[in-house]
Structure formats: structure tokens, C-alpha cells
Amino acid sequence: MTKPIRWGILGAANFAEQHMAPAIHAASGAVLAGLATSSAEKAAGFQAFAPDLAVFDSYDALLADPGIDAVYIPLPNHLHVEWTLKALAAGKHVLTEKPIAMAEAEFDRLIAARDAAGRLAAEAYMIVHHPQWLRVRVLLAEGAIGRLIHVDGMFCYNNAAQTDNIRNRAETGGGGLRDIGVYTFGSARFVTGAEPERVSARLRLENGVDTFAHVSADFPGFTYNSVTSMRMFPNQRMTFHGDKGCMTLVTPFNANVFGQAELRLENSDMTVTSQRFPGVNQYVLQVEAFCDAARSGAPYACPLEFSRGTQRMIDMVFAAGTEI
């Protein structure tokens, strides 16, 4: 029997409690073994479904435990690089929330540390493990919509009332592009295997963070357009337009939260087919894929090199953006 990967979590973030900790607990080949938090109240929420969970009073204490094989890091964005490097230095595999870095140049240190440690380090980019995205990539490669001409993306929510939310604070690496732009940008890159050649953007800023971004880009052979916002009614959608058809994902990013994952394919013969993916938990799939890669050394769907490309596009948008 294969020995399970024993996981620890740095910090009792709400997202970790609601999504990733339950996913680690449920995943085959994984054990949720530790949580680093000084709050007994926050720890209780995790222990409700993982009663054997060990609680550490500091991040360093968890990293020093030889019984922890891998760590999940859901800390505020500006702490991701620091604690990813510390976890690698401690000999742990590391899965860090997106964005794993604040700028493309920081990936040099991350990749070097990963290679030196001989451990798997990756960004928690769960959508590449969801079968709807794998299906889109196959259909596009097979020519289901003919030649790809244009990609449209939309990902919005409204957290204007949450003034203390880390996404609304510049000092914690907030902003919509870092929080959700990674999805509209990265999903287009993942499906096509292409990188943007030019970008333009119109940004709306509040207190030093982007709350609205309209981005246009030229990729080799196709154009791209997206809107991300932290001040609009919740909505998400990705559409891939070809010369012979169109593919639309109605719940591309938050499957089972925003709605049911569904892929709609329209063809030139006026037929529309729909494929739904009920009950698929992309967080569990992510943990299982990570554990498999950590044990075997097999390629992982979202290596640091892929995440670096998404960060490069974010950097391009900030460099080219004009404020409105």
C-alpha cells in the first residue's frame, strides 16, 4: 500500500477551512495532519471534520515537524514567496495559493529553490484539473470550432463592503487581477498553449488596488478580451470563438459554488451540444494530482513554469494599463 502524503496548512484562512482542508481530508492518498494557527477557535472549525488534526502554534513549528510531508499555504499574497521558500528549505512539498508570486522575477528564486530541494512546489491553480477544461483543450486541438479567432473572459464579484478584506488592501497584495485575473488569463493560456504578444488595459483603482480591469491582448493567431472586477455583480464565463463553432463554459472557475460546470458547443450546422460535470470537486482532484506527482516525480499539470507565464501577463497588464 502506498504511503499517504501527510499535509499541514499554514494559517486558518476561511478558504482553507471551506474548500482546501476538506479536499485534503477527502483526497485519496492524502492525510490532513496539521494546522498552524494560534487561534483555538479557528482550529475548531478544521477539527470538526478532521478530529485527529494536530494544531501547531506557529508556522515554523509545523515546518519543523518531520511527520509533515507537504504544506498548503493560503496566506495573504505578499507572504507567498517567503513561506514557499521556507517550506522548501524545510524539505516539504508545497502547494501555495494563487498568485504564488507578486511579479514574474520572483519565479527565479522559487524555481531554483524547488530544484535544489528536490520537492514539488506549485501554485494552487485547481481549474487545470477539472475535466471541463481538459475537454475544452482536446476539442480545440481536434478542430471542433475550426480555427480559433477570439477568446472572451469574464470573472466578477462585489466585495466593496468588505473594507478589511485582504483583496482590498495594497499592502497584502490585493486587487482583482491577482485574485481572479489569474483565471481569465491562465485558462486561455492553458487551453491554447499560447502566450500574449501585446496587451492593453483600462484599470480602475481604489486605495492602490485594481477593482476593475478591461484587458485586450493579441495572441499568435487570435485575439483576447476579458473583464475582471471586484465591484460588479457576480458573473463568470469563458468563450472560445472559432470560424466553425463556439465553446462556452458557463461556470468556468467556481464549479459547484457559482453553479454547475457546463460546456456548450455550438457548430456551424446550427446544433448545440451540452456536457455537464455534476459532482466533480476540482480541489480534491488537485490534491490527488499533487500527491501523485510528489510521490512519483511525474509531470504536474500546473508547474511553476506555467504559473510564471500567467504572472508575466499580469505584469504586462499593469505595465500597459491606463487608469480610468
* Residues carrying an active site annotation: 98
CA proximity to 288, closest of 129, 179, 168, 177: 129
Q: 32: which residues sit within 8 A by CB, 6+ positions away?
A: 7, 9, 21, 24, 25, 46, 50, 53
**CA angle in degrees (0–180, nearest 5) for 44-12-158:** 115
Question: Whose CA is closest to 242, among 225, 226, 223?
Answer: 223
C-beta of residue 129 within 8 angstroms of C-beta of residue 282: yes
Cβ(96)–Cβ(77) below 8 Å: no
Residue 181 is placed in which grid cell?
485575473
Cis ω for the linkage preceding 234 (within 30 of 0): no
> What letter would DSSP give residue 197?
S
CB 187 within 8 A of CB 238: yes
First to last CA, the chain: 58
Could you tell me which of 96, 147, 142 has the C-alpha nearest to residue 119?
96
Residue 102 CA to residue 161 CA, distance in Å, equals 25
Sign of CA pseudo-dihedral 41, 43, 44, 46: positive
Kindly give, in sequence order, each residue whose CB lies less than 8 Å from that of residue 259, ignoring residues fewer than 6 positions away. 250, 251
Beta bridge partners of 97: 124
CB 246 within 8 A of CB 266: yes
